Amino acid sequence: MTLRIAVPDGALRAPSLQILAAVGVPGGEPGAVAGGGPRLEATVAVLAADDVPSYLASGAADAGLVAKDLLLERSAGLCELLDLRFGAALLVHAAAPGASERARRLGRLRIATRHPNLTRSYFAARGLEVAVVEVVGALDRAVADGLADGVVALVEAAPGSALQAGVAGLTVEGVVAESSVRLVAGRGARVLHTAELSTLVVGLRDLTARRGTP
């Protein structure tokens, strides 16, 4: 049976297609797992990153590459099969100067984010009340314009710059979650495509082991 694999568009598109091609699944074409493994018939669809979990949950795709922060945020009930160890990022809480004093005065923090569920869980675990402001555009601008006191933002986990990129002018207060790209399957696919998923996991596991941790 042909395995339908969903790949996120944007910055993760190229490395996602590259890692699949490395195990014999070039973009959109049937292929065989590299290294003489069992043949794996697969097609690849490039989708908006936020849409990949929905395709997997509905059965419109069988497997997909999804960032861990999105899996945690959506709580889609999907099956995480493998950490592919690329696309490393941190979801951080960063605050504007004087935010703590403002929070004491107003009784709660206003947090701009694209991760409302993770944000609420993070602050609830610390006994803090927050007003979550969902923002599509630049998060640091939300603070500069007075819309929020701080952000929960995703930043690259690059040495020396992980806690700065994307939160310019803000002070990082804590790490909400760690993220990297994961191979994920829908629950139905785990039953209908057991052999195909096993072949894909073996190929990708061997590849990531050879590459080592970035």
Confidence of residue 158 (pLDDT cuts 50, 70, 90): low
Residue 52 carries which side chain, given as an amino acid letter?
V
Determine the pLDDT at residue 35. 45
Bridge partners of 175, per DSSP, are 92
**Number of Cβ atoms within 10 Å of the Cβ of 161:** 11
pLDDT in tens, 91-105: 999 988 777 677 667
Mean pLDDT confidence for 189-207: 92
Determine the pLDDT at residue 27. 63
pLDDT surpasses 90 at 30: no
Determine the pLDDT at residue 160. 45
**What percent of the chain stands above pLDDT 90?**
57
Assess contact for 170 and 47: CB atoms under 8 A.
no
Closest CA to 97 of 161, 152, 143: 143
pLDDT surpasses 50 at 33: no
* Pairwise pLDDT comparison (193 vs 104), residue with the higher score: 193
**All residues at 6 or more sequence positions from 4 whose CB lies less than 8 Å from its CB, including other chains:** 42, 43, 45, 60, 61, 62, 63
Question: In whole angstroms, what is the distance from residue 146 CA to residue 168 CA?
Answer: 15
Assess contact for 52 and 8: CB atoms under 8 A.
yes
pLDDT surpasses 90 at 194: yes
pLDDT surpasses 90 at 6: yes
* Pairwise pLDDT comparison (129 vs 168), residue with the higher score: 129
Q: β-pairing, 39-40 with 89-95? A: unpaired
* Pairwise pLDDT comparison (183 vs 29), residue with the higher score: 183
pLDDT surpasses 70 at 89: yes
pLDDT surpasses 70 at 56: yes
pLDDT surpasses 50 at 159: no
Mean pLDDT confidence for 19-29: 78
Q: Which of 18-32, 162-176, 191-205 has the highest mean pLDDT?
A: 191-205
- Which of 32-46, 96-110, 159-173, 186-200 comes out lowest in average pLDDT? 159-173
Structural domains of the chain, with CATH: 3-87+181-211 (3.40.190.10), 89-179 (3.40.190.10)
